[in-house]
Structure 1
């Protein structure tokens, strides 16, 4: 079984991922959205990156040996503010944008995680937020003040190890609320009181609601059923304060057990030289891009085009390049049964994914398959029918390689071609096909030459299919 090595933010080096033991599946948790508005394409990057990691883990270790959770934060001050502004309930706001998020991520080819816990489902109960806060108070790591419960960061010596920031810089960077009841400015809220018109839950400290950070710690313990998970993922913006605080409170609530064996963070998307963010207003949503005619798999490939830890510049040039690549692959790949995926030895073509999820190098290897002939081992295990040619084998391998990173490459997928060519161009292709069937070679050649001037090459493969390519 191949070894997977991933870069750990805590240790700042690549770490081997443990091999799952019987009854102890690999566990992956990724911070999901706060559902008060449509996710922008930058928010989609962690969903796509960690979906790809999830696919890799399932491929290497088997679906039964992986558990993936991605949460929904459905109680938050931003949700409540939007509800008040629109004269709706917070539950209605959260439900609307949760549905949008699920639809958008599905359009980008993301599998449904094994668990999609909602914060409001994990407030009470044996492993809920209230129980965890009580444990932190009992262990001397948290204190009650003015109806609030706060985590005391000075009581956790490892605070700051994840983000590697000095304490004064962390306090300044956290934009913490100045409050006289805090023992230290960096102490963060675990529980806060709710007014009569705000959502709230009964607790030992009065009616209130949880702070943001405690939510993920409780959901991790609740759905993945372990104090220490294998991988905790999210965007770089969550490294501090969210993940720093998650780690601190979980370690202290669970007797010193680390929350995650490996912490992974993806880089930002930028518009030009500026980070994409709602606060700056320089965002575009997957919904807007899909409505503009960009296929979901083009958006997915664009999001995977840079190494996940590096920043990614988002612009139309990136989308056009991704569309060109996919259009080529769609016409080169040949579908095989997904069950055959487990039978192929991918050799060194597969290695980049094992080495810290190096998808750009893996994509480069996919490009190398197109002109290659019989470069893989294990070919005899594939069921191609009667006496496949070397080119058929390479086409099938390309399809399998695409499946691992969530790209369903199918050269007969007419829906994709329809999004690529205009109606007028498709009409010309139909005339080209008709002319060839009638052996009107002069007309067929004239149509082919005319389309070539528009940057579209027409050719015919040995099966008689007309192939459209950008040139």
Structure 2
């Protein structure tokens, strides 16, 4: 199946055709670092992490750019309230961003440009737009004239006349049109400022992403992403200024992808409602794997309702997938492979699951459907494991390898079950396994000597640190809770 993606610009699914064969260039709007990341911040970055993983799985070479808006009113206000400079605040929360996203197993972008480092590029674009007649200067401020761009509104579907009719009466009278937006803002007391042809000042919000994406990805690239709240005005304005700048090389972006909103107990998340959740606070109660699995269990374009109940449900569901990894790792220790019809069946099941997983991801990166496929294969692994342990079926290396490889591929693309998958190959885990064999041996000796107190103490002590012992006809097995 060919990869198809939903393009916000055309409002339909389209076959993905990269600008350059075998390569994918993508730009994702990053955070404004004035506070710790919240759950709404996490969703787009989890989404694009999986998109990137899948594209690389499909053997594309991916170049990923994600910015930090480190010059912004919110940062300036926070800095002034604390009595520090703007960069102190920005750097503090950029560090916080990486701490949280690393825990969520979100791979790093290739580059994280910041506004403050790209003033020269920003000023050059603004100056070019003024020279071309797309922008005008008023008292040290520079505004983009939306009436000069014939296609303004094509991303959001908005009409200029309707926007003018709905504009507030207290708009800046210096503007040619109420919806004209600032490319450059003249300096004000208590704000950082840079020298420009129009005097000291700083960039407007939208121009930064144009400057950074054009610099690192070229005048036309494959993907641009972010939350649905960025469609208008941010991405609409980004298209207008970027395509006016490059003109003959448009479209500026081939495919615009936007993730859906997050609600909390079916209400819009906001500070005023008191339902604003920071990721670092959520991770005090749930593992990063649970939060990641929870977000990916819903298709990225659909609304996602956040609640303790839903997180607990995700935790229980994820445990079923963990069990399949543990069973698979346990099977890997077996020898004496025997050919049988059940093995042939499992090989075919693995092939079909792989195809179904690819079909799901090729359908606009449908992680919800892909996870459903993963659950189906997990069931097959668990049934096979139980049958082998009960000696109803003979172990077969080919069957084990087929289902394990496909299952671990799915987990890798989704970025989940990292610890469980590492347990099989990590050298430190091998040492832990050897130590557990010694502990289990001591317990078994105690049981054979009918020293139940020692045997129970070993079991209970292990349970207290999250290790469960399971007795079976084939011996004792341990796993992490």
TM-score normalised to the size of structure 1?
Answer: 0.81
- Name the counterpart of 2:157: 164
TM-superposed CA distance for 1:321, in Å, is 1.8
| Cα pair 1:433 1:466 within 8 Å, conserved | no
Structure with greater helix percent: 2
- Name the counterpart of 2:175: 182
- Name the counterpart of 1:59: 57
- Name the counterpart of 2:75: 79
Q: Does residue 1:306 correspond to 2:318, yes or no?
A: no
Of the two, which has the highest radius of gyration? Answer: 2
TM-superposed CA distance for 1:464, in Å, is 4.3
- Residues 93-242 of structure 1 correspond to what in structure 2 (within 5 A)? 93-124=89-120, 128-167=121-160, 170=163, 178-224=171-217, 226-242=218-234
- Name the counterpart of 2:359: 351
| Cα pair 1:35 1:97 within 8 Å, conserved | yes
TM-superposed CA distance for 1:137, in Å, is 1.0
How many residues align? The count is 423
Q: Which segments of 5 or more consecutive residues in structure 2 lack a partner in the other structure?
A: 333-350, 383-394, 424-437, 460-466
TM-superposed CA distance for 1:188, in Å, is 0.3
Cα gap change, 1:136/1:19 in structure 2, threshold over 3 Å: closer, same or farther?
closer
TM-score normalised to the size of structure 2?
Answer: 0.80
| Cα pair 1:330 1:409 within 8 Å, conserved | no
Q: Which segments of 5 or more consecutive residues in structure 1 lack a partner in the other structure?
A: 337-343, 375-385, 415-429, 449-455
TM-superposed CA distance for 1:85, in Å, is 0.4
| Residue range with higher mean Cα deviation, 398-407 or 104-113 | 398-407
Could you list the per-position Cα deviations for residues 135-168 of structure 1 after superposition, in whole angstroms to 9, with x for gaps in the alignment? 1111111100121100001111111111112335
Q: 1:245 aligns with which of 220, 237, 243?
A: 237
Q: Distance in 2 between matches of 1:434 and 1:320?
A: 36
Cα gap change, 1:412/1:252 in structure 2, threshold over 3 Å: closer, same or farther?
closer
TM-superposed CA distance for 1:389, in Å, is 6.0
Cα gap change, 1:411/1:80 in structure 2, threshold over 3 Å: closer, same or farther?
closer
| Residue range with higher mean Cα deviation, 8-17 or 277-286 | 277-286
Cα gap change, 1:20/1:221 in structure 2, threshold over 3 Å: closer, same or farther?
closer
- Name the counterpart of 2:4: 5
Cα gap change, 1:412/1:446 in structure 2, threshold over 3 Å: closer, same or farther?
farther
Secondary structure, counterpart of 1:115 in structure 2: coil
Q: Distance in 1 between matches of 2:356 and 2:95?
A: 40
Q: 1:366 aligns with which of 356, 374, 392?
A: 374
Note the aligned Cα RMSD (angstroms). Answer: 3.2
Q: Does residue 1:466 correspond to 2:478, yes or no?
A: yes
| Cα pair 1:27 1:67 within 8 Å, conserved | yes
| Cα pair 1:176 1:185 within 8 Å, conserved | no
Q: Distance in 2 between matches of 1:280 and 1:135?
A: 44
TM-superposed CA distance for 1:211, in Å, is 0.3
